[in-house]
Amino acid sequence: MDLNAFWVLVESSGAEASDQDDRLERLTAAVAALPADEVVEFAVRLDEVRRRVDTWAHWHAADLICGGWCSDDGFFYFQAWLVGQGRAVFEAFAASPDALADLAHVRYLASRGGVHAWADEDWPDWEGLDYVAAEAFGGDLESELEARGLQVLVSPDPVGEQWDFADPAEISARIPRLGALFGKVA
């Protein structure tokens, strides 16, 4: 499976889905219908795209959006949510973490007045995406990946420079539009 096929599967799962659970079921069924090698490739492609946004800069944006409540698990599920937004949104965010200031859902979250006002379904996470390939594979996917000399991320391992996420000067310098949207700039 090439990257284009990966994105087609992810994006088509949301075409007629009524909610995230429905979308997850559709995606899992679509991946399960693939040959076993393609299911493994789906897991590899997910890992490949996730690694592109596994940086401190991207975690900073996620942490700001999530009101400082973005643990390592939270960031990992945020990455999956980001993949679920589709290729165009993903590519924009990969190029510039501040690009999420343009996303309607992020603007909605900012308008809610803080994470305490968010409904469970509002949170920018999609944990279920992490289990699609394993459920669709129907066997020991981890062993299959190891046999191929592959190891996928199971938690964030960010690269790049780390800084104080709560520092208004850093927010202003690194993610100014998100900072302004969430009222966190100096």
Q: Per-residue pLDDT tens for 37-92?
A: 999 999 999 999 999 999 999 999 999 999 999 999 999 999 999 999 999 999 99
Contact call for residues 150 and 53 (beta carbons, < 8 A) = no
How far is 90 from 19, CA to CA, in rounded Å? Answer: 20
How far is 107 from 100, CA to CA, in rounded Å? Answer: 9
- Residue type at position 27: L
Q: Per-residue pLDDT tens for 16-37?
A: 888 999 999 999 999 999 999 9
Confidence check: pLDDT of 139 > 70: yes
Burial of 118 (0-12, 13-18, 19+ CB in 10 A): middle
| % of the chain surpassing 90 pLDDT | 94
Phi, psi of 55 (to 5 degrees): -130, 160
Average pLDDT over residues 87-106: 97
| % of the chain surpassing 70 pLDDT | 99
